[in-house]
């Protein structure tokens, strides 16, 4: 990358969700000075500063808006424009296409070059795409569009994005996971992620239930939270699997690393949800492979971009629960295969999907759109 002294504004709809480690990576590892704006509408804040206007200023903006018959959004767009100018912002990175749509008038009026980073649901849920007017203005005014998988890139082109604007770069794995050295001494599978439709955690449980018929001492560890958590817990109770399936909630990176080190494989049965919702390229999958664990998952979205079926993991078709069971049993019955796939996965991620590689490509893209 060339030397630069940029002021980069990152916009995110929320501040620090536990599942959005990729956004925190952008904030922490992009070069130069990053100004992190989070929230929506009148609640947009600048990290370490707070709201962009005082109560008195907001009252003044409301009066001006009423007198001059400006749109209601004026009362939050104006202070945001003032803030961007005050911070001497050179380029903007917007996390999620939906957030770019929300900010489009601000972005247009700022006349700043901006890059939009799509992540998953924003490029796949049909109602979301429709409610955001197929991102027509976002695609028109954005300098570049980031897609995290080849599947997503094709989907964005299909709904109207100029192919020349698309930059393909999966969110990379943090180097901290490279230090993990799996021991493969437990019959333990690991799932970590949100309990939502597209991750179909219930399918992992159903596949594992059949595994127990041949390996009654195997364990499935499930970490995370989400709208389906209670349903999955009830499923486990229904089949009386409480002794073998453990729910650990949201965990910190150090705990995750220790679980990766002691597990046999990472499992995630991703599917396309009924509303069209899909993964981008799941960060947890990339991290697990970088840690040296084979990944048992599905041919879904960006997963086959990073997991090589038969070499770094074992993939099945979506909803093919019986095949996932077979894949789990295959590794339980052949520890040497699990070790071989894990090592191949670590090398694959290091060579092609490291966080450094992703950040470098993103940094170069931001510098390119200024020039």
pLDDT for the residue 7? 97
* Rounded Cα gap, residues 164 and 358, in angstroms: 19
3, pLDDT greater than 60: no
Q: Does some domain include residue 183? A: yes
* Rounded Cα gap, residues 171 and 23, in angstroms: 9
> Looking at the structure, do residues 126 and 254 belong to the same domain, yes or no?
no
Confidence of residue 78 (pLDDT cuts 50, 70, 90): very high
179, pLDDT greater than 90: yes
3-7, 101-105, 132-136, 241-245: range with lowest mean pLDDT? 3-7
Which position has the higher pLDDT, 240 or 56? 240
> Looking at the structure, do residues 361 and 347 belong to the same domain, yes or no?
no
> Looking at the structure, do residues 115 and 201 belong to the same domain, yes or no?
no
Q: Does some domain include residue 81? A: yes
Average pLDDT, whole number, for the chain? 94
Q: Does some domain include residue 2? A: no
pLDDT for the residue 2? 41
The total number of structural domains in the chain stands at 2
57-61, 79-83, 238-242: range with lowest mean pLDDT? 57-61
Give the DSSP per-residue string, 156-167.
HHHTT--GGGEE
**Cut 0.95: pTM above it:** no
Confidence of residue 60 (pLDDT cuts 50, 70, 90): confident
Q: Does some domain include residue 56? A: yes
> Looking at the structure, do residues 235 and 307 belong to the same domain, yes or no?
yes
Q: Which domain holds residue 287?
A: 175-352
> Looking at the structure, do residues 127 and 153 belong to the same domain, yes or no?
yes
* Rounded Cα gap, residues 117 and 126, in angstroms: 18
Q: Mean per-residue pLDDT for 87-91?
A: 97
pLDDT for the residue 64? 82
pLDDT for the residue 4? 56
- Which residues are CB-contacts of 248 (< 8 A; sequence separation ≥ 6)? 221, 222, 223, 255
And the tokens for 150? 């080849």
| Percentage of residues in the chain having pLDDT higher than 90 | 85
Q: Does some domain include residue 94? A: yes
Q: Does some domain include residue 292? A: yes
**pLDDT tens, residue by residue, 281-334:** 999 999 999 999 999 999 999 999 999 999 999 999 999 999 999 999 999 999
| Percentage of residues in the chain having pLDDT higher than 70 | 98
> Looking at the structure, do residues 110 and 233 belong to the same domain, yes or no?
no
pLDDT for the residue 53? 83
> Looking at the structure, do residues 179 and 248 belong to the same domain, yes or no?
yes
> Looking at the structure, do residues 83 and 15 belong to the same domain, yes or no?
yes
Q: Mean per-residue pLDDT for 155-183?
A: 94
> Looking at the structure, do residues 149 and 222 belong to the same domain, yes or no?
no
116 and 12 Cβ atoms separated by less than 8 Å:
no
pLDDT for the residue 19? 52
Question: Environment class of residue 300 by beta-carbon count within 10 Å: exposed (0-12), middle (13-18) or buried (19+)?
Answer: buried
57, pLDDT greater than 90: no
pLDDT for the residue 189? 98
Confidence of residue 106 (pLDDT cuts 50, 70, 90): very high
pLDDT for the residue 23? 86
Confidence of residue 66 (pLDDT cuts 50, 70, 90): confident
20, pLDDT greater than 80: no
Which position has the higher pLDDT, 100 or 19? 100
CATH of the domain at 146: 3.40.50.2000
Q: Does some domain include residue 266? A: yes
> Looking at the structure, do residues 144 and 282 belong to the same domain, yes or no?
no
Q: Does some domain include residue 224? A: yes
**pLDDT tens, residue by residue, 328-357:** 999 999 999 999 999 999 999 999 999 999
293 and 265 Cβ atoms separated by less than 8 Å:
yes
> Looking at the structure, do residues 165 and 179 belong to the same domain, yes or no?
no
**pLDDT tens, residue by residue, 130-160:** 999 999 999 999 999 999 999 999 999 999 9
């Amino acid at each position: 990358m060339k030397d630069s002294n940029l002021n980069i504004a990152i916009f995110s709809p929320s501040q620090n969700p536990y599942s959005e480690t990729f956004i925190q990576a952008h904030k922490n590892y992009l070069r130069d000075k990053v100004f992190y704006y989070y929230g929506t509408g009148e609640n947009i804040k600048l990290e370490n500063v707070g709201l962009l206007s005082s109560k008195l200023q907001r009252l003044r903006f409301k009066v001006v808006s009423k007198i001059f018959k400006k749109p209601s959004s004026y009362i939050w767009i104006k202070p945001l424009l003032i803030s961007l100018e005050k911070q001497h912002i050179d380029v903007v990175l917007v996390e999620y296409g939906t957030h770019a749509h929300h900010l489009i008038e601000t972005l247009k009026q700022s006349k700043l070059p901006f890059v939009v980073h799509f992540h998953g649901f924003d490029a796949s849920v049909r109602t979301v795409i429709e409610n955001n007017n197929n991102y027509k203005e976002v695609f028109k005014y954005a300098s570049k569009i980031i897609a995290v998988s080849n599947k997503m890139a094709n989907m964005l082109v299909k709904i109207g994005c100029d192919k020349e604007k698309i930059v393909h770069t999966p969110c990379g794995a943090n180097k901290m996971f490279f230090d993990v050295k799996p021991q493969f001494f437990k019959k333990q599978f690991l799932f970590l992620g949100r309990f939502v439709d597209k991750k179909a955690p219930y399918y992992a449980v159903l596949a594992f239930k059949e595994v127990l018929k041949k390996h009654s001492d195997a364990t499935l560890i499930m970490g995370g939270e989400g709208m389906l958590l209670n349903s999955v817990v009830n499923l486990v109770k229904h089949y009386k699997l409480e002794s073998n399936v453990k729910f650990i909630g949201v965990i910190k990176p150090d705990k995750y690393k220790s679980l990766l080190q002691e597990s046999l494989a990472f499992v995630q049965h991703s599917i396309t949800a009924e509303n069209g919702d899909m993964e981008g390229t799941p960060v947890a999958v990339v991290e697990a492979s970088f840690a040296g664990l084979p990944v048992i998952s599905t041919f879904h979205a960006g997963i086959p971009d990073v997991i090589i079926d038969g070499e770094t993991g074992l993939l099945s078709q979506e909803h093919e629960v019986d095949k996932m069971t077979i894949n789990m049993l295959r590794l339980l019955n052949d520890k040497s295969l699990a070790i071989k796939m894990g090592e191949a996965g670590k090398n694959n991620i290091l060579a092609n999907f490291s966080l450094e590689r992703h950040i470098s490509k993103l940094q170069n893209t931001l510098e390119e759109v200024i020039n």
